[in-house]
Structure 1
Amino acid sequence: ERSIISLRPRQSANLPQNGENKKAVRKLAPTIIPFWGRLADWRGRKLMILRSGFGMALVVSLTGFATGPVSLLLLRLLNGVVSGFIPASIGLVSTNTPKERVGYALGVLQAGAVSGGICGPLFGGLLADLMGFRSIFYVTGALILVAGIVVLFFVHEKFTPTNQQVKTSTLADFKKIIHHAPILSLCMITFLLQLALMGINPLVPIFVQELAPQANIAFYAGLTVATMGVANMLTAPVLGKLSDKKGADRVLFFASLGVAIFSIPQAFVVELWQLILLRFFTGLCLGGLLPAVNTLIRLHAPVGMESRTYSFSNSAMYLGNMLGPILGGAAVGLIGIRGIFLLAIIPLVISLILTRFKVTPIERSARRQMKEQLVLRE
């Protein structure tokens, strides 16, 4: 669906309320995800991937027939209801992978998601120029349909339906889940990381305009954004594997520290190549963040409530994605774009504190108990 996102400026020319459509989808996602998470724990994660894949294929294809802002808004809202392919995939991969290899598996999954995020805008732009704007929705819908078919026939899940399908509210699920330390801290860390990243990312192309030659601004802006994505894609499997060996909490701490360190000099660059280089190093560190968080959630989630736990984490991520650009855009008028890079240090530092004092002690205790159990078995 990244191929569609790249075309929104063109869409806005004909449908001026497109900004409100995006806001509506972002607001809806955090509220609907916990419902799908509960259903995934009861009926299986693969079913949720199929529900999302086939549902999005239909809705995205229908979006190509939208005739105005109202119909587009309704279709985007419906897309927000049925979306969740990647979150459901995280739940499936994490629960069907041995715990000692979860980090690596989630790292590979993130690498695939990031590569799609890099190629999507380029692919969408090329198709729009060749086939016209509306055709891109039909092609994207067809690609999502193919992804759903691949999952249907080639992905196998080890899932035993639970007999304890007691009806519980989302609030009751949340209360039960957060009592399993350090889940609440991990959800807060997810929110803070996305808040920091999304406060900066939308402003990077604007910052590039100050540094790049005026002749090829679009190219240099795309290069700067893609550089961080490529670095993220390269290190996600490596850092995921490292989290399996050395501890996901350690990878999370040092990766967050790296993002904070490399964000500071970005506020003082005077040449474009300096910004690109620093964004690349930032991307190298980003590859370890979400896989580490998701690995820790898998290790500490209540048994039988893994998907619901991931759903609350994903809701926190969507809230960060929604509030980051809003707060970043509001702050840029006061402190300038360069100041945003420094402002982003605050949520990163808070996430470091939470990792060090709320997550690491629990994870160390869990590793110690695991070693003691291995010794007793021997």
Structure 2
Amino acid sequence: MIIRTRRFLRSPLFPIFMIVFVDVLGFAITIPVLPLYVQGEFGATAVQITSLSTVFFSAQLIATPQLGRLSDRVGRRPVLIISQFGSFLALLLSGLAPGLAYLYVARIIDGLTGGNISVAQAYLSDVTDRQNRTSGMGIINVAFNSSLLIGPAFGGLVAARFGPRVPFLLAAALALFTIALSYFLLPEPEKREPKARQTAQTDPLPRGNGRKLTAVLLLPGMFLLLTITLADRVGFMIYQPTWVLWAETLLFSGRDPAFVQQAVGWIMTLIGASGIATQVWLVGPLTRKMGEKRMVFTGTLMRGTAWGLMALLPMVGPTLLAAPLIGIGGAIGLPALTSLVTYVAPPDQQGYAIGLLQASKGIGRIVGSMIGGLVFQLLSPSATLGVAAMISFALLLAIIQLPEESSAKVVCAPTNKTL
């Protein structure tokens, strides 16, 4: 065990692990801290707060494919270092911001250089063979889930004790550490996979002529799957950026912002832990027993129920009951949705289809964060959760219309061209 640990720490896998961990940690710590930080320090409204998410995801949607193509041309290592430097600047600027405008600049920088994970995936594809690729990609999943588990609680605890700026500065220090790791320990891969193969991994907005786009969208169930994905992300992003504001206004009304940040951090850790436990122990058996379509239906129903429960009963007890449903529902439904897309698309179109799926998620995040702030500010705090729940329940009607997995697999089965 000790020998394996030493090998891992000396291998390129350790810098990759840290790159993904710090990248996601920088995002995760903002969830409980950023809304109240911006509200308390700069008097920001709900729309201004959620706009920080909007500009981040907009910049990320535009820049991620460009960073992927750049890594094909100049190499993975320099692009990863540049991306980390962008994360460092964004976190440092967030922690030192003298005004709201500086936070917008920080979020744009973070989004424009936010291709760390996709380029890290491409790097692992370059340095692993087919037999070891799954375990290599598992390192990214461990880093991603660990930071989502630690980040909210870490951000809330540090903000409560030392102030809301300190979590950003600590995350910036970690980003600086990963830059040093990458510079000294991360070699450029000897071989890079052909760009056509890497595009499926790095490009969330694939390029292609109208005929190719039409052909993919006309695959049975594909347009409906992409629409469900987009609407699902809209509902989630209506809830997520405003949830801390909802907790401060209703769940912990009258409590100190430091207490709210800490409490929300722990609740979000509960959500993350529930999701990770579900991924590790339940997703495999449930998929074999239920199939992907029922998994998507069940996951969507669970999250809609959780948001509806919190909207109707904004109290600590119901919230603690609802929180695990959000994590479990996401862990059950979201991977199954991706699997259905790969079933619908034939092998030679799967990369393009996954790119369209990622684009649908990106657009949904942008639209949802815009709507969330408006609903919170113009209607009521609980209206955001109510709207998210209604979107989820409406999606159940669409999910019922999806083709069964067996039919989808038949559609994408290879054809015998000699017939």
When normalised by structure 1's length, the TM-score is 0.72
Where does residue 376 of structure 1 map in the other structure? Answer: none
Aligned in 2, Cα 1:152/1:134: closer, same or farther, shift over 3 Å?
Answer: same
Residue 319 (structure 2) aligned to one of 259, 267, 275: 275
Deviations along 1:142-179, whole A, 9 cap, x unmatched?
336647988868x999956659x9xx945545444324
Deviations along 1:218-252, whole A, 9 cap, x unmatched?
33222222222221121123454246524322211
Structure 1: tracts of 5 or more residues without a match: 374-378
Structure 2: tracts of 5 or more residues without a match: 1-22, 200-205
Residue 27 (structure 1) aligned to one of 58, 68, 76: 58
Percent identity, aligned pairs only, is 15
**Counterparts of 2:228 and 2:129, CA distance in 1:** 24
Q: Which moved more, 1:137-146 or 1:291-300?
A: 137-146
TM-fit CA distance, 1:364? 2.3
TM-fit CA distance, 1:43? 5.3
Listed as ranges, the matches of 1:260-339 within 5 Å are 260-269=304-313, 271-304=315-348, 306-333=350-377, 335-339=379-383
Q: Which amino acid aligns with 1:235?
A: T
SS of aligned partner of 1:344 = helix
Where does residue 175 of structure 2 map in the other structure? Answer: 140
Where does residue 397 of structure 2 map in the other structure? Answer: 353
Q: Which moved more, 1:267-276 or 1:9-18?
A: 9-18
SS of aligned partner of 1:219 = helix
TM-fit CA distance, 1:275? 0.9
Where does residue 17 of structure 2 map in the other structure? Answer: none
Where does residue 364 of structure 1 map in the other structure? Answer: 406
Corresponding position: 1:241 with 2:284: yes
SS of aligned partner of 1:226 = helix
Q: Which amino acid aligns with 2:147?
A: G
Residue 197 (structure 1) aligned to one of 230, 236, 260: 236
TM-fit CA distance, 1:199? 1.1
Where does residue 84 of structure 2 map in the other structure? Answer: 57
Relative contact order (alpha carbons < 8 A, sep ≥ 6): 1 or 2 greater?
1
**Counterparts of 1:19 and 1:258, CA distance in 2:** 25
Listed as ranges, the matches of 1:244-259 within 5 Å are 244-246=287-289, 247-259=291-303
Q: Which moved more, 1:118-127 or 1:220-229?
A: 118-127
Q: Which moved more, 1:117-126 or 1:16-25?
A: 16-25
**Counterparts of 2:352 and 2:241, CA distance in 1:** 30
Corresponding position: 1:117 with 2:148: yes
Where does residue 251 of structure 2 map in the other structure? Answer: 211
TM-fit CA distance, 1:109? 5.8
SS of aligned partner of 1:83 = coil
TM-fit CA distance, 1:317? 1.5
Aligned in 2, Cα 1:344/1:61: closer, same or farther, shift over 3 Å?
Answer: closer
Corresponding position: 1:232 with 2:255: no
Q: Which amino acid aligns with 1:203?
A: T
Listed as ranges, the matches of 1:76-155 within 5 Å are 76-87=107-118, 112-123=143-154, 126=158, 129=162, 134=169, 136-143=171-178, 146=181
TM-fit CA distance, 1:195? 1.3
Q: Which amino acid aligns with 2:388?
A: A
Q: Which amino acid aligns with 1:190?
A: T
SS of aligned partner of 1:287 = helix
Check whether the contact 2:298–2:333 (CA below 8 A) recurs between aligned residues: no
Aligned in 2, Cα 1:84/1:124: closer, same or farther, shift over 3 Å?
Answer: same
SS of aligned partner of 1:25 = helix
Q: Which amino acid aligns with 1:326?
A: M
**Counterparts of 2:104 and 2:261, CA distance in 1:** 28
**Counterparts of 1:35 and 1:78, CA distance in 2:** 14
**Counterparts of 1:204 and 1:36, CA distance in 2:** 31
**Counterparts of 1:107 and 1:320, CA distance in 2:** 27
Check whether the contact 2:50–2:373 (CA below 8 A) recurs between aligned residues: no
**Counterparts of 2:380 and 2:43, CA distance in 1:** 30
Where does residue 3 of structure 1 map in the other structure? Answer: 26
Count how many residue pairs are aligned between Structure 1 and Structure 2.
359
TM-fit CA distance, 1:32? 3.7
Aligned in 2, Cα 1:277/1:259: closer, same or farther, shift over 3 Å?
Answer: same
Aligned in 2, Cα 1:106/1:241: closer, same or farther, shift over 3 Å?
Answer: farther
Q: What is the root-mean-square deviation of aligned Cα atoms in Å? A: 4.7
Deviations along 1:319-377, whole A, 9 cap, x unmatched?
2222223212222345423333332233213432332213x33x221456899x9xxxx
**Counterparts of 1:197 and 1:144, CA distance in 2:** 32
Q: Which amino acid aligns with 1:312?
A: L
TM-fit CA distance, 1:272? 0.6
Where does residue 13 of structure 2 map in the other structure? Answer: none
